[in-house]
Chains A and B, each alone.
Chain A
Amino acid sequence: MSERGPEREGPERVGHATRGLAWEEPLLFERSREGRAGAALPALDVPEVDLARELPGGVRDDVPGLPELSEVEVVRHFTRLSTWNAAVDLGLYPLGSCTMKYNPKLNERAARLPGFALTHPLQPADAVQGLLALMHRLEAWLAEISGMDAVSLQPAAGAQGELAGIMMIRAYHERRGERRRKVLVPESAHGTNPASAALNGYDVVAVPAGEDGVLHPATVAAAMDEGVAALMVTNPNTLGIFERHIGAVCDVVHAKGGLVYGDGANLNAMLGVTRPGDQGIDVMHFNLHKTFSTPHGGGGPGAGPVGVKAALAPFLPVPVVREGRDGRYALSEDVPHTIGRLHGHHGNVGMLVRAYAYIRSLGPDGLRRCSEMAVLNANYLLARLRARWHVPFDQPVMHECVLSDRALAETGVTTIDVAKRLIDYGYHPPTIYFPLVVHGALMIEPTESETPEELDRFAAALEAIEEEARRDPERVRSAPHRTRHARLDETRAARHPVLRWQPDGSSSSS
């Protein structure tokens, strides 16, 4: 790798990424040496067995694809890998719609308590009363926060919560003897919304927003008929704008017998301020890894509990946690028209423990304060950035704001370049090219976790990049310059897929 020269402006001046040692690290398989091991196994305290007799279908001699490394090599390998990641613990990670807030360390400690981490999902209820109590309380708290009547904690992620919600909607209509075929989805929706509807055999009908970026009752009415099972809506929407006609939109859907699904990805804007259940939403999911501070884990595990109004409670996934008259908790399959099971057991319970810790730590005032600060931070960034960046739907926002690359059109610099250049300033880029309704979108969600100084630094970085794009566009177009790797070739990866390492070196191309 060539030495990357220092810059006297740009990142040197604005951001707080600096130079340091960066370690090289091959793949595990390239480090492997015959005969090494990273874990000593206990001596066998029972007789050895004749495998050929015990397993007449044959046994493998070996798993040749697994590496052989000592413990210190494994520890160094993964520690070095970790240094190549951006993370919330390292800095602002303003990935819009993902709510990359700080993950309190208490949560991690709590989830590792042996009474949680070493419990088995098929233990009898009387052996896990603490866990069932925790789940029962968390259900009640999520219901209160959202204004829904009942909650299932089972879905493992937001998209599985959507799947559960749409299944309940389908079961609800079928129970009423109606076979509805369509689901309405706004053009600005997350891709999981249409995908979840399709997994239920529904036809997806896109609904446009108005020029002001929000859904209008008349547009929904035009698409609405007795063949529509549901409208899926995200509020605030993916432009960060509150759907101010949400009440009337829900009325339009309900008038034709449809239901309204609420995508809870953006709940962080509304805690203690307004509740989906009061807005007219019938079913929704929560993203505990977004709103309730459970870590994102490099791509999960998340947790996607689903909340419903009373009319849909008979369709909830099983089992459900029930509290008996004696104050003891039980797991019950007694849900009359249940859609069934979505998870092998009770969902991502370790994440439920973390979300419980978070809600208990913040309380009602703290949760409201969290949304207030998230909204203030997003509006502050928008106010600072508006002067130099094009804001496609310029109005007060909730927890996130969306810029476009239109103002840079004559420079040849596009959103992907801006994102990659932000990396040089020490920031994880925002969500890019989403929502699809904005050309070259940069979707920025600062969350409540950031200080004003940090927001100022981030805004200054975006301002500096805008300036660079005019003065030295090639510098921006060829970013990032300060990372281990220059821009990686995604087209090559897709055209010539190399999806595993092979000993003949077919995956090592450097």
Chain B
Amino acid sequence: MLARVGAPSVAALFECVPEKLRLDRPLSLPAAGSEQEVLAELEELAARNEHAGAAAWFLGAGTYHHFVPSAVDALVSRGEFYTAYTPYQAEISQGTLQAIFEWQTMCCALTGLDVANASMYDGASATAEAALMAMRVTRRRKVLASAGLHPHYRRVLATYLGGLDAELVDLPRAASGATAPPGARVDRDTACVVVQQPSFLGAVEDLPALADAAHAAGALLVATTTEALSLALLPAPGACGADIACGEAQSFGVPMSFGGPHLGFLAARGAHVRQLPGRLVGATQDASGRRGFVLTLSTREQHIRRERATSNICTNQGLCLLMATIYLALLGRRGLRRLAEINVAKARYARARFAEAGLRLPLTAPFFHELPVVPRAGAAEALARAREAGIVAGLDLAPYAPDLAGALLVCTTELATRAQIDRLAEALAA
């Protein structure tokens, strides 16, 4: 090969690098390991983490431990899917493109909106991009964020707005746990009201009322979620007046994996499609009239529009989108709705057990599968004791909602058994 290139040595290929910029020593890194050795090292690191496969799990707060059917991982493990890239060349990417089109269709069905994109990085950045989109649509600069927004989403939103001429204003929480009516805070400068459904504390928000308040001032309603499963049971955000629905779809077959990779999604009304960030797949035909799919409306995107693009996003969360598409296909129209109902029922059972044990439940708003509860021994102490008994009891709310210090945020998915919930209630009452 070197002879063909006309170079005397491999080193000569790097003569274009000025000598003073060349590294004159080996990189200081551990020496190469065999597959057996590297796997053993990683198994040792993995063994130092407590995980949901080996505990009774009640920690949610934006990332959820749901059962994943075996077919999901078997299918996404096909190299034809996971070793491909963005489907730029449609004729040899129809597998990826059709799956994205199917996701877009199901995302529209779940959100009650007209167009959905081919994923964002995660729920937090999807929420931030939704706010930026609302600013472009309305040409306004103020974003109102509900106190029910996940605190990390609130922080990411602030980071994304930081470099722009924008103002972020917080909407307080009512005693029930839901967002208080925004009143005069929505004004003619307001681009959007951002509300999370259900809220960080698990409360179900009154989306129609918030939509009316936003629309009355010419602003958009952005409804985000950290629990996409709720979309199968609660009224669709689009039907409640939301103009943009977005958030996190990790619950649809994506492992928790310490917070990522997950699946941001974003859907909107058809009228706003040109302001949508991210990739879109559309149906078309080939020369002989056969249906096929391509990336489309890419004049919104960075590789065409550069500094005038609607976003800088390029690589998204394609394989996580595929996981969710397979998951939704397996659960289906009835299964997903029933699964949501099971989650709700488990949480009602937990609430009943907590009440029986005399534990205080600080919020009164309707909730989905998550609620704050005040353990008898205090949050930190209760968490520690439960952990010794193999129970991950929830999230200590003190750093996130100081007025609820002493409470734990407890989540029950379909994976929480009745016996585990009984043990949890006993542990929190101790």
Contacts and interface: CB of A to CB of B under 8 A. Distances in A.
A507 interface: yes
B27 A368 contact: yes
13 contacts: A57-B234, A65-B109, A87-B79, A115-B49, A159-B312, A163-B312, A199-B160, A200-B163, A344-B152, A364-B31, A376-B1, A488-B286, A493-B282
Contact of B414 (A42, A194, A271, A488): A42
B279 A67 contact: no
A312 interface: no
Contacts of B143: none
B32 A366 contact: yes
Contact of B345 (A39, A47, A75): A47
A409 interface: no
Contacts of B328: 66
Contacts of B21: 246-247, 274, 278-279
A272 B26 contact: yes
A47 B121 CA distance: 38
A207 interface: no
A297 B256 CA distance: 18
B17 to A, nearest CB: 5
Contact of A130 (B45, B101, B158, B313): B45
A65 B236 CA distance: 12
B119 interface: yes
Contacts of A382: 5
B86 A298 contact: yes
A219 interface: no
Q: Dominant SS at the A interface?
A: loop
Contacts of B54: 114
A118 B52 contact: yes
Given A298-B84, A343-B156, A131 B45 contact: yes
Contacts of A113: 42-43, 46
Contacts of B5: 376, 379-380, 382-383
Given A119-B52, A497-B297, A48 B236 contact: no
Given A37-B330, A60-B236, 15 more contacts: A38-B331, A75-B71, A106-B39, A121-B258, A170-B163, A192-B302, A274-B21, A275-B23, A298-B86, A345-B258, A347-B259, A363-B33, A484-B94, A487-B287, A489-B287
B366 interface: yes
Interface string A178-217: 0000000000001110111111111010000000000000
Interface stretch (B188-196, B212-220, B318-326, B354-362): B318-326
B81 A85 contact: yes
B403 interface: no
Contacts of A63: 109-110, 231-232, 333, 336-337
A278 B23 contact: yes
A31 to B, nearest CB: 9
B94 A84 contact: yes
B165 A49 contact: no
Nearest to B226: A344
Nearest to B166: A201
Contacts of A131: 45, 48-49, 258
Interface string B287-315: 11111111011110111111111011111
A498 interface: yes
Contacts of B88: 95, 431
B335 A39 contact: yes
B204 A82 contact: no
Given A130-B45, A130-B47, A300-B317, A66 B336 contact: yes
A190 to B, nearest CB: 8
B158 A340 contact: yes
Nearest to B323: A297
Interface string A365-399: 11110001001100110111000000000011010
A64 interface: yes
Nearest first, the 10 A-B pairs at minimum CB distance are A65-B109, A345-B259, A115-B46, A121-B259, A89-B79, A363-B32, A130-B48, A299-B318, A297-B319, A301-B261
Given A130-B45, A350-B255, A81 B94 contact: yes
Contact of B334 (A44, A68, A246, A362): A68
- Which residue of A44, A117, A270, A353 has the most chain B CB atoms within 10 A of its CB atom? A117
A37 B80 contact: no
A134 B124 contact: no
Contacts of A134: 42, 45
Interface string A64-98: 11111101001101110111111111100101001
A177 interface: no
B418 interface: yes
A485 B10 CA distance: 42
A160 interface: yes
Contacts of B332: 36-39, 66-69
A21 interface: no
**Size bracket, chain B contacts:** 35 or more
A497 B38 contact: no
B155 interface: yes
Contacts of A478: 287
Interface in B397-419: 414, 417-418
A499 B62 CA distance: 29
A62 interface: yes
Interface string B118-129: 110111110000
Contacts of B119: 299-300
A501 B108 CA distance: 10
B385 to A, nearest CB: 14
Contacts of B83: 87-90, 93, 100, 103, 295-296
Given A158-B314, A372-B10, A242 B16 contact: yes
A55 B273 contact: no
A298 B96 contact: yes
A93 B103 CA distance: 26
B313 to A, nearest CB: 6
A498 to B, nearest CB: 4
A59 interface: yes
Interface in A129-173: 129-131, 133-134, 141, 144-145, 156-160, 162-163, 166-167, 170
B123 A344 contact: yes
B273 to A, nearest CB: 7
B338 interface: yes
A488 B335 contact: no
- Which residue of B121, B152, B159, B320 has the most chain A CB atoms within 10 A of its CB atom? B121
Given A38-B71, A44-B342, A509-B283, A60 B105 contact: no
B273 A499 contact: yes
A271 B20 CA distance: 16
A45 B162 CA distance: 48
